Structure 1
Amino acid sequence: MKEQLIKAMQRNQFLNMMYMAKDGNMSKRRIKIIKIVGNSFQAYCFTRQAKRTFMIDSVLAVVPVIPKEREIVC
């Protein structure tokens, strides 16, 4: 998982992330990773509209957000 997060940070990608909080609640977040330190990382969370710190071990899944290209049909 850490390798995926490092690649996303290097590529400046937005991610959709499934995360399990300490209390056991799961949440879906859209994030952009700012930095990775040890077993945690700091990211801007678009869901909460704030910088947040996440534990790598609590990340259940990440999927890169692929921007949709809009095509004009004449």
Structure 2
Amino acid sequence: MKDQIKKTMQHNQIVDIMYMAKDNTITKRRIKLIKIVGDTVQAYCFTRHAKRTFKFDNILAAYPVINRASGLNA
């Protein structure tokens, strides 16, 4: 998972993640990666409209957002 996240960051892609919060609720977030610090990812969260920190261990799935109109990554 960590390698996939790093790859999307290198390509400046927007990513959809499934994330498990502290209270064990699972949410879908659309994020723009800013930087990786240790076992966390700092990113702008489009869902919350704010900069957030996500723990790698709590990211259940991650996939880049594809712009379907052009076939290019968003």
State TM-score, norm by structure 1. Answer: 0.90
Unaligned runs of 5+ in 2: none
- The TM-score with structure 2 as length reference comes to 0.90
Bigger Rg, structure 1 or 2: 1
Q: CA RMSD in A?
A: 0.9
Percent of aligned pairs with the same residue?
60
CA positional deviation for 1:40: 0.3
How far apart are the structure 2 equivalents of 1:42 and 1:34? 5
CA–CA distance in structure 2, aligned partners of residues 5 and 63 of structure 1: 9
Which structure carries more strand by proportion? 2
Q: What number of residue pairs does the alignment pair up? A: 70
1:1-74 aligned within 5 A: 1-69=1-69
**Structure 1 residue runs of 4+, over 3 Å off?**
none
